[in-house]
Structure 1
Amino acid sequence: MTRPLAPLPAALVSAVRHIAATPHLLVALDFDGTMAPLVARAEDARPLPRSAAALATLSSLQSTTTALVSGRALASLRAVATPPAPTLLVGSHGAESWWGPDSPALELTADQAAALERARALVTQATTLYEGTVQEDKPSGVALHYRQASEADGRAAVDHVRKMVAQDPAIYLGTGKMVLELSVLNANKGQSLTTLRERTQATATFFAGDDVTDEHAFAALLPGDLGVKVGQGETAAGFRIAAPAALPQLLELLVSARREFLHVT
């Protein structure tokens, strides 16, 4: 039997109602662990239906821009999230972006392409040595997933890759929940959120995320913005909800308050 969700804290309800009354609202969301529960196989992730429906409604409202900001490659994000057509997309922790049909494709320099091959070779070596580890190639990087590995093998794989990358200044390291990210572009979600705000001319930003990599985005929020951490862990976000299962009621509240502000029946 599913335990009923606790009501949203009064302070969070008030903050949502306040941000909904901004002239142009940007609603940016992480995907894995936020829109969708974390799963063992990345390709099996799907957004919770009510969260997906709320995002679709928000994307249809005037003076409201929606965006997914994910560590996934854009192709993977599209495949699992099936985002509403107007929704802007940021992938690979900010290395990839889709602002519309005219968005340029990601291009690497020759040096970056060579560094990417080295990074992928390092992760391939680790996944060969340590059972349960999985490699995920991205256009500008590669991820080492160790959620399915034993604690010992996961730790050994991470240590192995870290040691090798320390000798290569062209490869940047990042960490997430049971994943080690290698990239040849020094990008993060905070930079992406700032770009989204500037491109959309948003007057306030709502961002929700669950992972260590989302802390860059929380740190980039401005006074008057609203950050919501999903799950446990230290955070710079002003508010917290327990799990992805609590996000639908939060987004539905935002939909209701935004429609009320826009006088949409």
Structure 2
Amino acid sequence: MTDTERPASTEAAVALAQSLKKLAEADRLLLALDFDGTLAPFVDKPKSARALPESKAALERLEKLPDTWVAYVSGRPLTSLEIVTEADEDALLIGSHGVEIRFGRDGVSLDLSVDELDTLTRLGEVLGALVKANPGTRLEVKPVGFGVHYRKLEHGSGAEVVAAAYEAAAAVSDQLTIRDGKDIIEFSVRGANKGDGIERLREYTHATAVLFAGDDVTDEDGFLVLRPEDGDVGIKVGEGDTAAQFRVSDEKAIATLLTLLAGAREARG
């Protein structure tokens, strides 16, 4: 769905309501949700981000229901995701775009090779130097790579930083996984995406229907693995071309939808 091809708002709202009603009746329901920009507004200090109270309350209601699972699927490292979601030991978490997985109390080891570790070290050095030379940027350390944030730069100047980051990273390796997100460019020594994470979650929970919501370019990998013909629902938050069936304006709209879904799922009995 592109911005110019969106159905009329009333028709879209009716179709979304019908899809959520059907979703609430699923035998085994998985809610796989991006965090930043979907459940939580963006903030300057990433670790201070929290889901809107309405979303948090709705998710807590849903988690208590039988045959219903809530999972967070994020580009954040797992340690950061654990903090902002205030996850308990039984939470289902996909971090680093699918590279890190925590299903309850069991995690997945990264087991980086010697070559990957060497590339990771050199990548950190060149991107660290880039950030130091460009005030207003920030380097985020991830388990298998780094992200260069440039949201605080003046409009338009971020493109220069992105180009410089590409050049610096290419000098280290031509085998990196590169993701261009909202005001961040990421380079990783190992490839995985949110679609991979959702498929792992589907397999783990044996879900018969999946709801995935996200706002970023990197969430498109998640939308692409959904199966609308089986009752899956994809929701894009905000503007931009998307493979999702539906679109909502912001985090508050997601909170409203989750509250409605919780009520419908509870009424199912």
If the TM-score is normalised by the length of the shorter chain, which range does it land in?
Answer: over 0.9
1:241 & 1:139 partners in 2: Cα distance? 32
Q: TM-score, normalised by structure 2?
A: 0.91
1:155 & 1:200 partners in 2: Cα distance? 41
Amino acid at match of 2:261: L
1:240 & 1:148 partners in 2: Cα distance? 27
Residue 230 of structure 1 is matched in structure 2 by 237
1:1-265 matches, within 5 Å, as 9-83=13-87, 85-167=89-171, 168-222=173-227, 223=229, 224-261=231-268, 263=269
Asked if the contact 1:115/1:171 (under 8 Å) is kept, the reply is no
CA shift digits 1:13-69 (9 cap, x unpaired)? 111010111110000100000010112221221110110111111111110111000
2:201 & 2:148 partners in 1: Cα distance? 28
Q: Shift of the alpha carbon at 1:101? A: 1.5
1:248 & 1:52 partners in 2: Cα distance? 8
2:85 & 2:120 partners in 1: Cα distance? 26
| Structure 1 unaligned regions, length at least 5 | 1-5
Residue 3 of structure 1 is matched in structure 2 by none
Q: 1:257 to 1:84 in 2, by over 3 A?
A: farther
Asked if the contact 1:16/1:254 (under 8 Å) is kept, the reply is yes
Q: Which moved more, 1:231-240 or 1:100-109?
A: 100-109
Q: Shift of the alpha carbon at 1:140? A: 1.0
1:16 & 1:93 partners in 2: Cα distance? 26
Aligned alpha-carbon RMSD (Å) = 1.7
Q: Which moved more, 1:204-213 or 1:39-48?
A: 39-48
CA shift digits 1:72-93 (9 cap, x unpaired)? 0011111112135543000011
Sequence identity of aligned pairs in percent? Answer: 42
CA shift digits 1:116-138 (9 cap, x unpaired)? 11221122011111110000101
| Structure 2 unaligned regions, length at least 5 | 1-8
4+ residue segments displaced more than 6 Å: none
Asked if the contact 2:195/2:223 (under 8 Å) is kept, the reply is yes
Asked if the contact 2:224/2:243 (under 8 Å) is kept, the reply is yes
Q: TM-score, normalised by structure 1?
A: 0.92
